[in-house]
Amino acid sequence: MAVTITQGNLSTNCKYLSYGGSSSSADAAEHCKQITDTLVTMGWTRYDSAGAGAVLGSDSAATRVLRRPTYDNATTGNYQYLGLSVEYLNTSYYRVRFTHAADWSDPASATAAVNPARLSSGTSGSYMMSDATGCYVDDMLGYGGGGTIWLFNDTHGTMFVFTSASKLNNGRNVFYVGEYNKSYGEQAATAASYLHNGIIFNGAQMCYHSGAPYGATGTQAVWRSTGTAGTSKSTYISNGSPAADGGGGPSNTSATQIANHVLQSGPSYPQFALTEYPTSSSSNTGFGRGIESTPEAWNNTYVGGSGSQLATRMHFGWLGWVGHHGPASWNLDSYGGSSVNSHFAHGHDKDHVGNTGWLSRLQGKSLDSYNEGTVIYEPSLSIGHTSRMAGNNYTYTYSYRSSTYSTSQTYRYIKHADLTSSYSGTRIKFSVFGKMRGVKMSIGFPNDYLAFLDSAVIPVDSSGFYDSNGTNTDHWCIPLNAGGTVVAWFKK
């Protein structure tokens, strides 16, 4: 008996598919059909040539190809393409593949994507993964048990949310495919070139990853001095836990002073992936401002290596850049959650200042805190470097006096900045892009202050972007991290 899937409408721009447990691997095709048929009713169109009621591939590894006009379609004739695949993986889950591409060369082929969005982190990490075909997830669509697939759709952006009794609304279950607006120019080599501006992200990946091309995670440097000659010590903290200090300690602990400078917060993976990237003519591979040639897809040869990680950033207005910048790499969860106190802190003392997310002190209200509004952000995107940065593992020697007559030495490594000296990925031109279409964000809420499918009224302009003088429009809330300190808003 085939899997039972029931479609429902939550609002104009939100539909859902409730499904039961599967009894056959062939049910993959039914999932693929139901998801894509629903997306067609929401503005996508079928592009593959499989025909009505059919799929490309097989019933246990089914694909359909959809497309929709880009924002500039009237002048360029271009489209966004999405190959939606559901593949039997095991008796627990199906693999769901989101092949978000710049073009599709053959409507009769499930693998004819041109420049699909791919993550340089490859199969690393526990969120959305990537291979030569594109991005995929292995543990969201259940096989043995039921659940719900939520589809939030705007004209140029779509959000997929997977829920079930075993899945938390913690951002790992959220996937966005869409495009950004080209507020900062085309970023293509010549007027005849065109940059396909598709973007894909996973909620948790966007929140927890630092967007820094560096192999280590969460490295922090800590300097300690007792203020007494000959009794100083330095060490480091990795992932928030103090490393062994080599024995002994400062003889005058009451005079100890601590300066903690967070160099990186979160895994060194990109926060999002694009269908195409502007390329650089710089002799330093992967860096520079000059444009070399037509935009390229991510070079999948380098997927997964720590030296291939691409710097990504998101600009949150007055908060500044989130992700790789300068000597530090901050993630979005740190801004709105409990990891750091302020974006403006530099070398602050984490041990002596409370670890409460500073925006959460406003109890989820807007910055004036006199009304019940929320702070709305529509982050612009940025990628690449302006120049090569010397990333090194510095060796420091420290001495301390463990007793009146005893002195000992040891060595520690402090990983500093980002290791771009070994970058081997696609040559990326440093670029600033526009805002993502269809999705707005808020950060800094206390844990569980907002929940999935809470709502807010946000004024928007005719393109769907925030406008204080625009039309008041209802939006659904979609948590992007654990506790919902970071949320997305999608138009109802």
72 token code pair: 């500039």
Longest dimension (CA), the chain: 86
Question: If you count them, how many residues does the chain have?
Answer: 492
Say which range, 11-25, 143-157, 359-373, 475-489, has the weakest mean pLDDT.
359-373
Please give the Cα distance from 263 to 260 (Å, whole number).
Answer: 9
- For residues 255 and 178, the model is more confident at 178
CA distance from start to end of the chain? 35
Give the tens place of pLDDT for each residue, 269-309: 889 999 999 887 766 555 666 677 788 888 766 666 656 67
Give the tens place of pLDDT for each residue, 414-452: 344 444 555 666 778 888 999 999 999 988 777 788 899
Name the most confidently modeled range: 55-59, 165-169, 220-224, 438-442.
55-59
- Name, in order, each residue with C-beta under 8 angstroms of 46's C-beta and a sequence gap of 6 or more: 36, 40, 64, 65, 66
Please give the Cα distance from 315 to 318 (Å, whole number).
Answer: 8
Mean pLDDT of 335-357: 44
Q: H or E stretch including 30?
A: helix 27-40
- Name, in order, each residue with C-beta under 8 angstroms of 10's C-beta and a sequence gap of 6 or more: 16, 150, 453, 476
At residue 300, what are phi and psi to the nearest 5 degrees? -65, -10
- Name, in order, each residue with C-beta under 8 angstroms of 345's C-beta and a sequence gap of 6 or more: none
Give the tens place of pLDDT for each residue, 211-236: 876 544 333 333 333 334 333 333 33
- Give the three-class secondary structure for 350: coil
pLDDT (0 to 100) of residue 292: 73
Beta strands in 89-184 (DSSP E): 93-104, 113-116, 129-130, 135-142, 147-153, 157-163, 174-179
Please give the Cα distance from 442 to 432 (Å, whole number).
Answer: 21
Burial class (CB in 10 A: 0-12, 13-18, 19+), 345: middle
Q: Which residues pair with 259 in a beta bridge?
A: 223
Angstrom CA distances, 118 to 209, 227, 295, 343, 366, stand at 16, 51, 15, 29, 36
Mean pLDDT of 77-99: 96
376 token code pair: 């709305």
Q: Which letter, b or e, does each residue of 473-487 get, where b requires 16 or more Cβ atoms within 10 Å of its Cβ? A: eebbbbbbbbbbbbb
Amino acid at the residue 267: P
| 135-142 and 174-179 beta bridge pairing | unpaired
- For residues 300 and 472, the model is more confident at 472
DSSP state of 36: H
Say which range, 65-74, 287-296, 415-424, 458-467, has the weakest mean pLDDT.
415-424
